[in-house]
Chains A and B, each alone.
Chain A
């Protein structure tokens, strides 16, 4: 599904990613771990198409298509979803109106008709139940005054609504207490299928107790220095990152 080939990326002429290779197949869950400043968030932003980053070498390929010339929204239309570490607050736009706009713009981008209001409502109900989201929450301004847990739950709610092919969860566990973490992880697990894939980016092993990865990669200084199975996460938790440097 996703192939990252020898990816180099920099911001303001400072190189952050120095040759990343990664292959994710449909149905798989991958985790990327690494210390602060290793380039984890940069990798997710570059895959999602953030324009501030310049890809100097290599490529990101989704289902055989090089994404280099596609804007972030076009990548979203092709099925990439990025859950933000720090979701942005947008006062004056409700959660419902935002997701409606996102869904219909995505459908437009995919050459589909807008979703009829009735179906939209049904979908919203279904997905908010899945994630145990209170209806009142949906009429609040997007992320404005949300707690850390509410913000992350809202991210997963949007993911559930948009049904992406590849979901990238960037530090989704940060700022979550254990109950919120369980709900979020549970939501991700329910949405997992043989046709989609998940890339979990995390600092700690904690989240991986609940979203169990098939592969774990360690990112250090802009490169993947080690890959392995889920047991690698436990090893990292125990030993830290120093032994890999």
Chain B
């Protein structure tokens, strides 16, 4: 049976097991979503948005949709994937199931807990009704699929005037309890007026079995609120990730999403920012460092609808072996959005002949009093710079790494959590195969 049919026919069983009130709003949303998914199916290369990323080979796997969990995962198994050097709230999911034992949640100043309880408890009904599935795009069949099977994920609700004292780490682990597994975490983040939160998200396969994660995150940023969101994508070679993140911003808010893609078989990031007020700042930063046959596709959209807003986008890519990158950065400046400042930069280095990048900056500008720029470069390592460094005693391999490090440095510089910066720096050094002995 094809994956699509399997999903559609499993939906009823899923609904019956779900324990949701069948009169609830969420139930209606799920029903609608599965119908939409059934109509649209998985995207193919014929879709303009999927021209450079082929899902077909991935969909041939016989994924287990409702994995059984092995509860043998202890702290020692996951320790290395946490940023341990800092205090944080943690939400840990094992094969899609929340582990209260490993997690550190709170309901004190804010809610850092799980979506399953938010969906079922009357206390959260209003928040869920107001926000859940309101910005996840309707014509995105993968987001629809996630909505249809929404069950678990992070629920982060920050009331107004709250500085969340420590970062929140969301970690999704798969244990390999099934040979091939499909996971669909769903996150909902609401940041109230004048509040501030930092979130680190990671998906990690603990086995060599095949994992496909289709995750959706909706983020609402209210007036003058600030959110820093970090995505660490460094999974195993049998793991693929489709990440759709939708951000809705109110006036004077600042939202930054930083995506660090170092590992995994196939990664697709859909990142969308919708502006719902004036004086908004959106920051999108990303770095991909790939080798072997890895594939990372970054699709971004910033929709400027109001005047006096800005967006800053910086994506860098380093591609070795036969790896492939895609960058599709769309910026829309609507007619009302006068005095917009929108900047986009995409720089790529191809290290080997077999590596490739498809870069597509897309600017649609309907306002006339705006500052918009975009730049896209594709290059190779500078041979004269390599010789210069070698002549100072630095071996070629280290010289290359140093140059690549320097190339990606301005993206790493954006990290506001020092311990995370150190971790990312180390991951980059490891990926480039060097120990540089210092931090840049």
Contact = CB atoms under 8 A, between A and B. Distances in A.
B411 to A, nearest CB: 10
A84 B388 contact: yes
A100 B438 contact: yes
Contacts of B410: 92
B306 interface: no
Candidate in B392, B405, B407, B438 with the most chain A CB atoms within 10 angstroms: B392
Q: How large is the interface on A (under 10, 10 to 19, 20 to 34, 35 or more residues)?
A: 35 or more
B403 A90 contact: yes
B429 to A, nearest CB: 12
Interface string B9-22: 00000000000000
Interface in A59-99: 71-73, 75-77, 80-82, 84, 87-88, 90-94, 97-98
Contact of B391 (A48, A91, A92): A48
Contact of A97 (B387, B392, B393, B438): B438
B438 A92 contact: no
A101 B391 contact: no
B384 interface: yes
Contact of A81 (B391, B396, B402, B403): B391
Contacts of B407: 92
B406 A76 contact: no
B418 interface: no
Contact of A73 (B393, B402, B437): B393
B394 A105 contact: yes
Given A88-B382, A101-B398, A76 B392 contact: yes
B405 A92 contact: yes
A226 interface: no
B134 to A, nearest CB: 41
Interface string B376-397: 0000001111011111111110
B409 interface: yes
A93 B394 CA distance: 14
Nearest to B413: A92
Nearest to A142: B406
Contacts of A76: 390-393
Contacts of A72: 387, 390-391
Contacts of B403: 90
Contacts of A102: 389, 392-394
Nearest to B385: A88
A126 interface: no
Q: How large is the interface on B (under 10, 10 to 19, 20 to 34, 35 or more residues)?
A: 20 to 34
A93 B396 contact: no
Nearest to B382: A88
Interface in A94-151: 94, 97-98, 100-106, 109, 114
A202 interface: no
Contacts of B385: 88, 90
A101 B390 contact: no
A93 to B, nearest CB: 5
B440 interface: yes
A113 to B, nearest CB: 13
A50 interface: yes
Nearest to A94: B440
A81 to B, nearest CB: 7
A162 interface: yes
A92 B406 contact: yes
B388 A88 contact: yes
Given A48-B391, A158-B392, A101 B409 contact: no
Interface string A5-48: 00000000000000000000000000000000000000000001
Contacts of A101: 394, 398, 402, 436-438
A94 B436 CA distance: 13
B409 A105 contact: no
Nearest to B394: A105
A108 B53 CA distance: 44
Contacts of A84: 388, 391
B392 A92 contact: no
Contacts of B436: 101
Nearest to A75: B391
A93 B392 contact: no
Interface of B: 382-385, 387-396, 398-399, 402-403, 405-407, 409-410, 436-438, 440
10 contacts: A51-B387, A71-B390, A73-B391, A73-B394, A81-B392, A91-B409, A92-B407, A104-B437, A106-B392, A162-B392
